[in-house]
Amino acid sequence: MTAPESNQSVESLKDDIQRHVALTLGSDPFPPRKGRYYLGLCYSVRDRLLGQWLETQRSYYDSITKRVYYMSLEFLPGRFLMNYIQALGMEEECREAVRDFGLDLDELLEEEWNPGLGNGGLGRLASCYMDSMATCRIPGYGYGILYDYGIFYQTIVNGYQHEGADNWLRQDSPWVLRRGHFMFLINFYGRSEAYEDSAGHERFRWVDTESVMAMACDIMVPGHQNGHVTNMRLWKAISTRDFELEHFNRGDYIGAVQSKVESENISKVLYPNDTSPRGKELRLRQQYFFVAATFQDILRRFRKNNYSSFDCFPDQVAVQLNDTHPAISIAELMRILVDEESLTWETAWTICQKTFSYTNHTVLPEALETWSVELIGRMLPRHLQIIFEINRRFLDDVGKRFPGRVDLLRSLSLIAEDNGKQVRMAHLAIIGSHTVNGVAELHSKILKTRLFKDFDNLYPGKFTNVTNGITPRRWLMQANPALSELIGSVIGDEWIHDLSHLSELAAYADDPEFQQRWQEVRKRNKKLLARYVLRKLGVGINPATLFDMHIKRIHEYKRQILNVLHVITLYNRIRSGSVAHHVPRTLFFAGKAAPGYMQAKLIIKLINAVGQAVNGDPAVGNDLRVVFLPNYCVSQAEKLIPAADLSEQISTAGMEASGTGNMKFALNGALTIGTLDGANIEIREVVGEDNFFLFGHTEEDVHRLHSGGYDPVQIYESNIELKKALDMISTGFFSPEAPGLFRPIVDSLLAHGDYYLVLADYAKYVAEQARVSKCYEDPALWTRMSILNTANMGKFSSDRSIMEYARNIWKVSPLT
Ligand code: 475
C-alpha cells in the first residue's frame, strides 16, 4: 500500500504544490511562503485522496450494500492535513518535498485551524467513529451541520474565561467540498391540513410552510492506507429563491435580503451545551434542518437503487442517532412514509423501529432534552401530531399490558406534564429504535436499572452496551510519533490496524533497556510540551516534575474542585514544611465552561487564582506549579496527552457516562488516578488493579448518600487539612481583592449539600495522590506500570467499538 505510485513521488508532489500555489491560489510561488505552501500542499494531498473517495462511493452503489448513517449534530475531527498524509502513507515524501522548498512540515501543519464543530466528548467520539468506519471499510456516512462558527474560542483574561467567535471558515477550508447541485428544500412552521384521499381515507399534508435550502458540503474521511474514503456530509443553510421573489415583488428589497440572511442563520453557530438546553428555538430548527436534509438524501439514494417497496428499507439503511439531538428523525420518517409514500401507520412504524438505533451519552437529568409542545406545534405542526399519535398508540399498548398502572403511563409517556407540556426526546428515541446503547458498561447498567428502568422492563433486550473507543491513528500514531516509533521497533506496526497487538509490549515491561528507551521518549515529549507552554503562556515549567493533567470540559461532576483542593493541600504542606520530601508536580488544567454555567466559570477563575498564588510564592519554587492552558481543543490535546504522567479521571461515580480522554492518556502511557466511573472501570480491569490509582465512593455509595444522611459539614469539621483549604478559598486567600469571590463554590460544598460528593471523596483522593508520588519516585516501577497501561489498551480502539455496532446493531459487514 505504501509503495510509491507515480503521483506519490517527491518530485510529483513538489510540482503539484507549486502548480496549486500558482494556478489554484493565483499566487507567485516564489519565494516559497508558509501560508501559501501550506495550502498548496493541502490541495496536492486532497487531489490524491479524491480518486479514492470517488471509487469508494462508486463501490457502495456497485455492491448495493446496506449503509450506515451516523447522524450527529457535532463532529470534532481535529486538523485534517496530517491525518490525510498518513492515511496515504506519504509522510516522508511530504516532509522531503516541503524541505526542498526550505519549509518545515510541522510548521505548515500549525497553519491549519481546528474545526470546532462540537462541544466535547460526544463530538470527538463521532469523529473517532468516522475514522474507524473508514479504516474498517464499513459502508457509511456521517451527517451533520457545517456551522460557520464552531465552539467559542476561549481566552483567559485576568483569570476569567472570555468567549470569542470561532470563525473557522473565514478563509475557505480546502477540505470542505461544496456541492451546489445537492440542495434540498426544508420546510418549517405552517400547519397540518386534513384532506380525504381518492379512496376516502383521512390524510394529512403540511402546508403554508416557510422554507430554506440545505446545501451539501462534503469532507473526506480516509481509512488508514486502505484506499477507502468515507464521506462526512455537513449541511449549510441557503435561502430559497422563492422567499426572495416574494419580497422583491412587493418592492421590499431590504426585507428580501434580511429574510434571506435570517433563514441562513440556521447553520450559523454551534450551540454550546449549556446547563439547561431548553427553549432555544434556533436549536430545534437546526435539529430539524439537518434531519430533513439527511432523510431526503437517504431516500434519494434508496430510490436510485430502484426498490419496488419500502419493506426493504431497513435492509438498506441503518440510522444511528448520536444522542437525542437527531431524534426528531423518527417523526420525520413517519411523516414521509405515511403522508408522502402512503404507507399504513403500522407498516411505517415497523420500518422506523427497524431503521433507528439510539446512543445515550449522559444520565445527568438536566442534560436530557425536552422540547415544549408549544414550540414543536408551532415549528413542526405535523410532527407534533405524529408524536401524539405515536404516544397514543404506545400508551394504549402499555395500558393493556399493565392495567391500572397510571404511574407507569406517566413515567413512560412521551409527554411530560410537570413543567408545562414537554416532549421527552429520549423517550421518542427509545420507542422508535430497535436498540438503545450506553457508552460504557456501568453507564449502560445505569440506563437499565435506574434512568430507563421501566422501558427496560417493557422491552427486554432493547438496551445494550457498546463501550466507547478512540482511534489509535490520531491518538497514538499521529499525536505521539516518538512512542509509536519505539513501539514499532519492538512489535512492528500491526497495532495501527489492530490495537490488540499492543499486548506484545507486556513482555518488555521489566526489560531495563526498553524501560530506558520508554523513559527517554516520555522525557522528550515532556520537553516538547514545556517548550510549547513557554511559547504560549510565557510560563517556564520543569520537565523533570510529575506532569499531572486534568483536561476536559469544566463541570461540577468532573470535579476539578477536588483536584484544586488537593493542590491547595500540597501547597499548605510545602509552606508549612510538613512533608519530609515532596515529589515536584506540574498541574495542567484545560477546558471550556459553557458560557451560561456560572459555577463552572468561577471554577476556572479559582484554578487561575490558585495558580497565581502558588506559582508566585518563592517558598514553593519548582515543587508545585499550576498552569491553565486556554482554548482546549483537539490539537492541544494531541500536544498534552503524550506528555502526561498522571491522568485525572475523578468524576463522581455514576456521572461520567464513559469518558474517552481517560483512554487517550492510558494509551499514551500515563497512569490514571480515578474513581469507579464510566470506562475507568473497564480500563482498570484490563491494565490491572496494580497499575491504576483508585479512590472514592462507588456508584452505589453515591446513590445511597443521595438518598439521605450525607453531611459534608461534619467532614469539613473533622478534617483539618480540608477545613484549612476551604477556609482559604472562602476567606479570600486566593482573591484578596475580592474576598467573597469564591463563596459560591464553598457554599455549594457546605451550605448546599455537596451534590457531587467532593468532600466525601477528599481524604481518599489525597491519600491516593500520596501513593502516586511514592510510585513516581521509583522510576522502574512507574515505567513498568506505564508500559503495562499502553500494552493493555487494545480493547479501547474505536475499531473494536465500530465492529460491535456493525455486528450487533447495524447488521452490516465490512466491504471486501
Ligand atoms: C459524556 N454533549 C462522556 C462522551 O460518549 C462520553 C450534550 C448536549 C448538547 C451538546 N453536547 C452534549 C454530551 O452530552 C457529551 O459530550 N457527553 C459525553 O459523551 C462520548 O465519553 O462521558 O459526558
Answer whether 52 contacts ligand 1 (Cβ < 6 A): no
Dist. CA 620–CA 613, nearest whole Å: 10
Structural domain includes residue 227: yes
The whole-chain average pLDDT of the chain stands at: 95
Would 816 be classed as within a structural domain?
Answer: no
Cell triple for 509: 515491561
Q: How far is CA 768 from its chain centroid?
A: 29
CATH number for 592? 3.40.50.2000
Asked if 496 and 640 sit in the same domain, the reply is yes
Q: How far is CA 626 from CA 133, 210, 272, 403, 730, in A?
A: 39, 53, 27, 60, 20
**CA 699/CA 757 separation, integer angstroms:** 11
Tens digit of each residue's pLDDT (9 = 90 or more) over 45-84: 999 999 999 999 888 877 778 999 999 999 999 999 999 9
In this predicted model, what pLDDT tens digit does every residue of 271-281 receive, in sequence order?
Answer: 988 766 566 89
Contact by Cβ (8 Å): 742, 730 = yes
Q: How far is it, in rounded angstroms, from Cα 501 to Cα 702? A: 37
Closest C-alpha to ligand 1, atom 21: 659
Whole-angstrom Cα distance, residue 459 to residue 791?
A: 39
Per-residue pLDDT band at 196 (split at 50, 70, 90): very high
Taking the alpha carbons of 771, 776, 779, 783 in that order, is the dihedral positive or negative? positive
Q: How far is the CA of 515 from the centre of ligand 1 (A)?
A: 36
658 lines ligand 1 (CB under 6 A): yes
Pairing of the two strands 624-629 and 646-649: unpaired
Q: How far is the CA of 26 from the centre of ligand 1 (A)?
A: 43
When pLDDT is averaged across residues 718-742 and rounded to a whole number, the result is: 98
List the end-to-end C-alpha distance of the chain, in Å, as a whole number: 16
Using CA atoms, how far apart are residues 111 and 125, in angstroms rounded to an integer?
A: 24
Ligand 1 midpoint to CA 608 (Å): 25
Averaged pLDDT for residues 644-673:
98
Shortest-distance atom of ligand 1 to CA 443: 22
Per the CB < 8 A criterion, the answer to whether 268 and 243 are in contact is: no
Question: How far is the centre of ligand 1, averaged over its atoms, from the C-alpha of 596 (Å)?
Answer: 17
Question: Would you say the CB of residue 369 lies under 6 angstroms from ligand 1?
Answer: no
Cα(363) to ligand 1 centroid in Å equals 10
Q: What is the 3-state secondary structure (H, E, C) of 235-301?
A: EEEEECHHHHHHHHHCCCHHHHHHHHHHHHHHHCECCCCCCCCCCCHHHHHHHHHHHHHHHHHHHHH
Closest-lying ligand 1 atom to the alpha carbon of residue 369: 8
Copy the grid coordinates of residue 579: 512533608
- The number of helices, as runs of H, and strands, as runs of E, in the chain is 33, 22
At 616 the three-state DSSP class reads coil
Q: Is the pLDDT of residue 4 over 50?
A: no
Higher-confidence residue of 709 and 641: namely 641
pLDDT band with cut points at 50, 70 and 90 for residue 580: low
The residue among 106, 104, 126 whose CA lies nearest residue 115 is 126
Residue-level pLDDT at 59: 87
Residue 815 is assigned to a structural domain of this protein: no
Is residue 625 within 8 Å of 582, Cβ to Cβ? no
What pLDDT, in 10s, does the model give residues 481-496?
A: 999 999 999 999 999 9
Burial 28-58 (b: 16+ CB within 10 A, else e): ebeebeeebbbbbbbbbbbebbeebbeebee
Asked whether the beta carbons of 435 and 809 are under 8 A apart, the reply is yes
Sign for the CA dihedral angle at 745, 750, 751, 752 comes to positive
Beta bridge partners, 551, equal 590
328 Cα–ligand 1 center, Å = 19
Report which ligand 1 atom has the smallest distance to the Cα of 656.
22
CA of 123 to the centre of ligand 1 (A): 8
User: What is the model's pLDDT at position 3?
Assistant: 40
SS3 309: coil
Q: How far apart are CA 45 and CA 98, in angstroms?
A: 13
- What ipTM does this complex have? 0.99
The CB of 125 under 6 Å from ligand 1? The reply is yes
Q: Per-residue confidence at 797, pLDDT binned at 50, 70, 90?
A: very high
Cis ω for the linkage preceding 31 (within 30 of 0) = yes
The answer, yes or no, to whether residue 2 has pLDDT greater than 50, is: no
Q: Is the pLDDT score of 181 beyond 60?
A: yes
pLDDT the model gives residue 307? 75
Query: Which ligand 1 atom sits nearest the alpha carbon of residue 678?
Result: 22
Establish whether residue 286 lines the binding site of ligand 1, counting it when its CB lies within 6 angstroms of any ligand atom.
no
Same domain, 10 and 120: no
DSSP string, 664-717: HHHHTTPEEEE-S-TTHHHHHHHH-GGGSEE-S--HHHHHHHHTTT--HHHHHH
Amino acid at 751: A
Ligand 1 centroid to Cα of residue 510, in Å, is 38
Task: Report phi then psi at 616, rounded to 5.
Answer: -95, 0
Q: Answer whether 273 contacts ligand 1 (Cβ < 6 A).
A: yes
Within this chain, do residues 455 and 567 fall inside the same structural domain, yes or no?
Answer: no
Identify the band that residue 640 occupies on the pLDDT scale cut at 50, 70 and 90. very high
Asked if the structure places residue 86 within a domain, the reply is no
pLDDT grade, residue 171 (50/70/90)?
confident
Distance (Å) from CA 534 to ligand 1 centroid: 32
Give the closest residue to 186 by CA, choosing from 164, 159, 215, 160.
215
The residues carrying an active-site annotation are: 361, 552-553, 558, 660, 664
- Tell me if 652 CB under 6 Å of ligand 1: no
**Residue 339's pLDDT is what?**
97
**Can you give the residue range of the structural domain that contains 22?**
1-61+91-112
Q: Do 502 and 600 belong together in one domain?
A: yes
Does the beta carbon of 377 lie inside 6 Å of ligand 1? no
Q: For ligand 1, is residue 159 a contact (CB within 6 Å)?
A: no
733: which residues sit within 8 A by CB, 6+ positions away? 613
Contact 790, 491 (CB under 8 A): no
Report whether 712 contacts 753 (CB < 8 A). yes
Atom of ligand 1 nearest to the CA of 359: 5
pLDDT reported for residue 248: 73
Amino acid at site 472: P
- The number of the ligand 1 atom at minimal distance from the alpha carbon of 439 is 5
Do residues 20 and 157 share a domain? Answer: no
Residues 650 and 523 in one domain: yes
656 CB less than 6 Å from ligand 1? Answer: yes
Alpha-carbon radius of gyration of the chain: 27
Residue to mutate, 76, 361, 801, ligand 1, most ligand atoms under 8 Å from C-beta: 361
Q: Is residue 362 lining ligand 1, measured as CB closer than 6 Å?
A: yes
Task: Give the integer Cα–Cα distance in Å for 402 and 410.
Answer: 13
Atom of ligand 1 nearest to the CA of 272: 10
Enter the C-alpha cell of residue 459.
422491552
* Cβ–ligand 1 contact at 680 (below 6 Å): no
The predicted structure's pLDDT at residue 62: 78
Q: Which atom of ligand 1 is nearest to the CA of 120?
A: 16
Rounded CA-CA distance 238/235 in Å is: 9
Residue nearest atom 15 of ligand 1, based on CA coordinates: 122
Same domain, yes or no, for 41 and 71? no
Number of domains forming the structure of the chain: 3
Q: Is 305 inside any structural domain?
A: yes
Across 503-528, average pLDDT: 98
On whether the CB atoms of residues 20 and 38 are closer than 8 A, the answer is no
501 and 535 part of one domain: yes
- What is the arithmetic mean of pLDDT over 789-804? 98
pLDDT band (50, 70, 90) for residue 253: confident
Give the list of residues 6+ apart from residue 410 with CB closer than 8 angstroms, or none. Answer: 417
Give 680-705 pLDDT, tens digit per residue: 999 999 999 999 999 999 999 999 99
Q: Which three cell numbers stand for residue 530?
A: 514545556
Tell me the pLDDT band of 816, cut-offs 50, 70 and 90: confident
Element (H, E) at 162: strand 160-164
What pLDDT was estimated at residue 1? 37
Note whether 450 and 511 are same-domain residues: no
Position 679 scores a pLDDT of 98
Across the beta sheet with 435-438, the strand order is 177-188, 210-222, 229-239, 140-145, 67-71, 317-322, 356-359, 435-438, 463-465
Tell me: do 488 and 349 sit in the same domain. no
| Percent of the chain as helix, strand, coil, to the nearest 5 | 55, 15, 30
CA distance 452 to 471: 30
Instruction: Give domain status of residue 84, yes or no.
Output: no
Which atom of ligand 1 sits closest to the CA of residue 119? 11
429-438 mean pLDDT: 98
- The mean pLDDT of 363-373, rounded to a whole number, is 93
Grid coordinates given for 80? 485534517
User: 121 alpha carbon to ligand 1 midpoint, in Å?
Assistant: 5
Half-sphere exposure of 545 (CA within 13 A, CB side): 20
Q: What is the mean pLDDT of residues 198-203?
A: 93
Query: What's residue 279's pLDDT?
Result: 60
Q: Summarize the confidence of residues 591-612 as an average pLDDT.
A: 97
Specify whether the backbone of 267 is left (phi greater than 0), alpha (psi in -120 to 50) or beta: alpha
Which pLDDT value is given to residue 631?
Answer: 97
CB of 278 closer than 6 angstroms to any ligand 1 atom: no
Does ligand 1 come within 6 angstroms of the Cβ of 370?
no
Model pLDDT, residue 259:
79
722 Cα to the center of ligand 1, angstroms: 31
- Mean pLDDT within 531-554: 96
User: Region 652-656: what's the mean pLDDT?
Assistant: 98
Residues 251 and 129 reside in one and the same domain: yes
- DSSP for residue 178: E
| Contact between residue 452 and residue 430 where contact means Cβ atoms under 8 Å apart | yes
* Cα–Cα distance list, 239 to 147, 192, 232, 258, 505 (Å): 15, 23, 22, 10, 56
Closest-CA residue, ligand 1 atom 4, reads 121
- Pocket flag, ligand 1, residue 469 (CB < 6 Å): no
347 in any annotated domain: yes
Question: Residues near 357 by Cβ (< 8 Å), separated by ≥ 6?
Answer: 318, 319, 320, 321, 433, 434, 435, 436, 437, 809, 810
Instruction: List the single range of 302-306, 445-449, 582-586 with lowest mean pLDDT.
Output: 302-306
**Cβ atoms of 138 and 583 closer than 8 Å:** no
Pocket test for ligand 1, best of 119, 122, 425, 557 (most atoms within 8 A of CB): 122
Q: Give the DSSP letter string of 454-471.
A: HHHHHSTT-EEE----B-
Residue at 445 is within a domain: yes
Residues 273 and 413 in one domain: yes
Q: Is the CB of 121 under 6 A from ligand 1?
A: yes
